[in-house]
A = this chain, B = another copy of it.
Amino acid sequence: MLVLSSPSGAGKTTISRALLKADTNLVLSVSATTRSPRPGESDGMDYYFVSVAQFQRMKSDGEFLENARVLDNFYGTPRVHVEKQLSAGHDVLFDIDWQGTQQLRENARDDLVSVFILPPSLAELEHRLRGRAQDTDSVVRKRMARASDEMSHWPEYDYVVVNTDIDNSISQVQTILVAERLKRARQIGLGEFVKGMRGA
């Protein structure tokens, strides 16, 4: 399980999309959300778009690995999809915030690698949020206030990437993913391989 977190606008979604495109073994954990689709987002691909009533039912039935309220919307990760992907041998990418990451650490038994994406500066973050022109001025102001909160959680993550250049940041997260797969504890069958060589 690979978790990417960052304040909104720091580049997390762009990095996630590039990772998924370049790495066919990596699949996105699709979250359920009560917020409205943004232009270009489709149901079942980017999110499962659900009503508040549906969300509350899933939550009370224990269907979420993690869930959180962000501004006026709810977000949650349905457990069943993640477990299916992991069983099939896929690595699963999570695009969630610090609250979700904390819950995921507690609720999921599978191992987890977490990466925090920082913007190069607050001014640049605001510039990017205004640049994507999909939020109202009041939403941008709320996101900027929340960015400061989100950023205070960087010490809870395994890795930190400062997103000054998007291509470089994509490459850095890919590097983390490849290196983590080389960790001894994740290389299944290595014990048998060495035993075989040693004639044991």
Contact = CB atoms under 8 A, between A and B. Distances in A.
Contact of A175 (B159, B178, B191, B193): B178
Given A197-B121, A197-B122, A179 B151 contact: no
A151 B198 contact: yes
Contacts of A178: 172, 175, 179
Interface stretch (A38-46, A76-84, A103-111, A180-188): A180-188
A167 B187 CA distance: 20
Contacts of A53: none
Given A160-B184, A176-B179, A178-B179, A197 B151 contact: yes
Contact of A182 (B160, B182, B197): B160
Kindly list the 9 A-B residue pairs having the minimum CB-CB distance in the complex, ordered from nearest. A179-B179, A160-B184, A176-B179, A159-B182, A148-B198, A175-B178, A122-B197, A175-B179, A175-B175
Interface of A: 116, 118-119, 121-122, 148, 151-152, 154-155, 157-162, 172, 175-176, 178-180, 182-184, 187, 190-191, 193-194, 197-199
6 contacts: A118-B193, A148-B198, A154-B190, A161-B182, A172-B178, A175-B179
